[in-house]
Structure 1
């Protein structure tokens, strides 16, 4: 497990758009944190700065004792598993091979290039597939699976890294309610059982309330709420989901009040 310290993170893109405006937070080791906010609030940008997929233009990210820099990205990413909205699997490869790609950061450059894996890698991949309930699909092509099953492969790939942190960027956005529930339950179980620090970007308020230890609400690149899920009352949700300083419309506010 690892603590994450986010200190005054800013991100301005080349076109001048400021996605993050001095975001700070400390995420406890072994905790389950959900980041909520409307589209364009900066949720994905923040998650991607944590493992160096985006380079912050201001501030620092620290994972455990290590500050993330351009010089240590390979080492950082070996400790941080990533779960993506659209799965990011190689469709033509088997489920097992996709899970094994989680071990590439632990192999040499040549071994990574040639997909050379050791017996220990195979054992870790097999154990990860057991955790997500897909051992019977190990040698199926990834594109033959349902969306929920493909996301389970993505989680198994992250587990195969033996990470200290798992970041999940909208992991249930393209899934039906039943699969969404299963994926969130699986991530919560991994956090609780393995002590892995889990940070999830979500739009689904009801899932955030049920699964998160803590909620960070982002709006327009700023933290507008940081606290327990129990604090997500109508006023707080209105603040998180307002646009350009205006209150959310009556229909959305009603929905949020009953989420």
Structure 2
């Protein structure tokens, strides 16, 4: 977000390439989808809500969505309801006087960019998202073994807890794709979903393929710590079966109750 001409679109274009994200440019959305909207306060609120809904839908599969637009007031930002805010604050005034007058500096944001090159902005954002730390193959590592048909928000929370405990996590996918109706997705599809859903963990995760492991054994006291991670009741109730049946999304929410 930021004033017109501050560099939002330049940054968004580069981030989309790095994050493999869906991209919604406010001007393009107005022109191609919601051309009836003007720039009154009411229309700006409607635009913010619709931009938010587009991003919500685009990220249902676990990927990322990037929106670049002015979003000038506290109310429009609340209507958009962002997960992560980048404020591009490189200019004092934009090219539209009415926008300059109504623009309110955000009280809350995750990254504030005031100087530097677009490449440096991207590095700053990726650092904030923990995407630049290298995987260390010799560091203590957690192992999660599963089918992930599909990978959903409950699985993501398991990964987050594993990283908290150990520092990095190896996510091992059992080779079950296509063996029955419960396992329709192949390794590459699930791997892509995991990387999209866990983008904020950066190089703290590694996804590998395993045979269809059913039993895990180890010898005498070798020092492995085996733990069942207990998630909240709400997350435990997220069912891959219901997701495959189209009853809920990968975010665990009923498909009939998408964001308005």
* Structure whose alpha-carbon radius of gyration is higher: 2
TM-score in terms of structure 2 length = 0.30
Structure with greater strand share of residues: 1
